[in-house]
Amino acid sequence: MKQATAIDPSWATSKNKSFSADRANRVARNAVTSAGVMAAARDISVMRGYSDTYGVMVPKTAKVCNQRQSGRCWMFSAFNVARHATMELLDVDSFEFSQSFGMFYDKLEKANAMFERIIRTAHLPFDSREVCELLDEGVGDGGYYPFAMNLIAKWGLVPKAAMPETACSRNSSEMDAQLERLCRKGACELRSMAADGASASELRAHKEELLANVHGMLAVCLGEPPVTFDLEIQVGKKCKADPAKVFAVEGKAKGAAKKDSGDENGKDDESERFVLRDAGITPREFAERYVPFDPNDYVTLVSMPGKTRPFGHAYHLTLTDSVVGGTPNRMLNVEPEVLDAAAVASLKAGVPVGMACDVMQQFPRYIDDYKYVLSTNGEDVEALFGCDLAMERADMIDMRETCLTHAMTFQGVQLDGDGRPRAWRVENSWGEKQGKDGYLVMSADWFHLYGGEVDVRREFVPAETLRQWDEAPVEDVTPWSGLATALGRGRQR
């Protein structure tokens, strides 16, 4: 192999002189230095062709949530799916679970899983790849859809009012810094004890002491999670909850619609109001009674093409399972059209779909107009820079150009004449002021190129794919593998 060559200064000087001689270069330079890359690359003639009308939409979508400065997108996505079942049951137009409650037990479970793995790997050098992974990623905010399902199955859910957001849940960096310090110090103590010959029972006894400190720190930052609480909520007349717990109350319905044209005065509707009361229930009882879906009934489908990533193959990401004894974090690799089919089937049944994608790609988030459009042709970056930037998805995965960075929720889809998706309606978790009232328009080709995950109920998965999910051998892959990186190593935030 020839010796590496350095850049010749004369070459750079020549390029500098020739650059400004080209009119297109001058225009591109002035635009980008003034407005930034995405704004300068925006193709308004393409952008204005995208609309937010959809032939298939989930009937009730509730108020858009806001994860603020935290990495809980996966939890918000999953909870947005789960709350749909609650809204249908209670006959309400909006509802929100406590993400602070979920965050508390997610951190506690992650700390326990980290300490258990530290004990298991105590014989390895401290700078081994596996130990470094545990220390780097132990109790971070990020996660995957199955993490939320495990939390719901084990700990339940509570309404947001039962455990509201705090300064540390809204902006988690300061809390996370102290938790990470606490857990790394604990890891150091466990490894030192193991090196001195401590038994497994002695190590786990110390682990319990460490977890007590983690619990206390979380309680200081997030508040103590309720053991029981009193549920009292206004519900609709079609509420399907236990009739013995639903009471009619006097007074006009809050926000009632005006009467039809027969009422010339347009007075408020004086229909009865109904209130659901259920005192002293636990979070698990709340989930069992008022969240009518099975958290163990979900299938995670991903589309990660490549020579080393065959379709029909199942994978398990080692060192990522956040709940010891919970359902492992596994996924089935399939063609992108399979993701489409499962998501469309769910939306047609009125059930939202958890999904994940790479929002770092071709997302004009900070452009004043059309900041809600995710498309492959809305920004002409190649013309702006005068070079070819196109890459196939498989190559992008191999070269670490793309990975699943963010989880959101499909709430609708526009189909073409052949029944295939043209554009998706996506509910984000960045509040109503981001995107278009909190929603994004995502073209189907953008999702094929930069998407790659849906989490759907078994009933919406094509039969052959479901058979593969149930029967395909599961391959363990490490968090530092190419596949794990593409799936969001460091976890979706």
CB atoms within 10 A of CB 308: 12
| Max Cα distance, the chain (Å) | 90
CA atoms within 13 A on the CB side of 116: 13
d(C-alpha 194, C-alpha 125), whole Å? 12
SS (H, E, C) the chain: CCCCCCCCHHHHHHHHHHHCCCHHHHHHHHHHHHHCHHHHHECHHHHCCCCCCCCEECCCCCCCCECCECCCHHHHHHHHHHHHHHHHHHCCCCCCECHHHHHHHHHHHHHHHHHHHHHHCCCCCCCCHHHHHHHHHCCCCCECHHHHHHHHHHHCCCEHHHCCCCHHHHECHHHHHHHHHHHHHHHHHHHHHHHCCCCHHHHHHHHHHHHHHHHHHHHHHHCCCCCCEEEEEEECCCCCCCHHHEEEECCCCCCCCECCCCCCCCCECCCCEEEEEEEEECHHHHHHHHCCCCCCCEEEEECCCCCCCCCCEEEEECCCCCCCCCCCCEEEECCHHHHHHHHHHHHHCCCCEEEEECCCCCCCCCCCCCCCEECCCCECHHHHHCCCCCCCHHHHHHCCCCCCCEEEEEEEEEECCCCCEEEEEEECCECCCCCECCEEEEEHHHHHHHCCEEEEEHHHCCHHHHHHHHHCCEEEECCCCHHHHHCCCCCEC
Active-site annotation, residues: 73, 406, 428
